[in-house]
């Protein structure tokens, strides 16, 4: 398997104008690339590693990212997404 080019991935994320925060991380919750607005902890990213384990748990708990809570309102693997309350 080819190694990921973090510089190219970071550049691609920075060029993406539709997402405010973006990150690519591995199975150890280690950040490979992110845009400049993304600063999260490994602890926060760990929740994403188990998102597909249980639909009910994931929708019930939602996610926390950079201290903000996001409600999960769609669970359609390979996509799990939502939005922040009040948006």
Mean pLDDT of the 42-56 span = 89
Distance, CA of 44 to CA of 52 (rounded, Å): 16
Single pTM value for the model:
0.75
Whether 36 shows a pLDDT value over 80: the answer reads yes
**Which pLDDT score, from 0 to 100, does residue 65 have?**
85
Establish whether the linkage from the previous residue to 72 is cis, with ω within 30° of 0: no
Whether 2 shows a pLDDT value over 60: the answer reads no
Residue 83 — pLDDT band, cuts 50, 70, 90? confident
Nearest to 84 by CA among 44, 21, 68: 68
**Which pLDDT score, from 0 to 100, does residue 41 have?**
82
Whether 3 shows a pLDDT value over 50: the answer reads yes
* H helix runs in the chain, sequence order: 6-15, 42-49, 55-61
H or E, element range at 31: strand 31-34
Residue 1 — pLDDT band, cuts 50, 70, 90? very low
Distance, CA of 60 to CA of 7 (rounded, Å): 36
Q: Is 26 left (phi over 0), alpha (psi -120 to 50) or beta?
A: beta
């Amino acid at each position: 398997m080819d190694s990921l080019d973090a510089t190219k991935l970071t550049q691609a994320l920075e060029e993406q104008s539709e997402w405010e925060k973006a990150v690519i991380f591995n199975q150890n919750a280690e950040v490979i690339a992110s845009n400049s607005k993304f600063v999260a902890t490994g602890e926060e990213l760990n929740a994403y590693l188990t998102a597909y384990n249980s639909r009910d748990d994931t929708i019930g708990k939602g996610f926390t990212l950079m201290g903000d809570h996001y409600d999960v309102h769609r669970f359609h693997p390979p996509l799990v997404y939502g939005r922040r309350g009040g948006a």
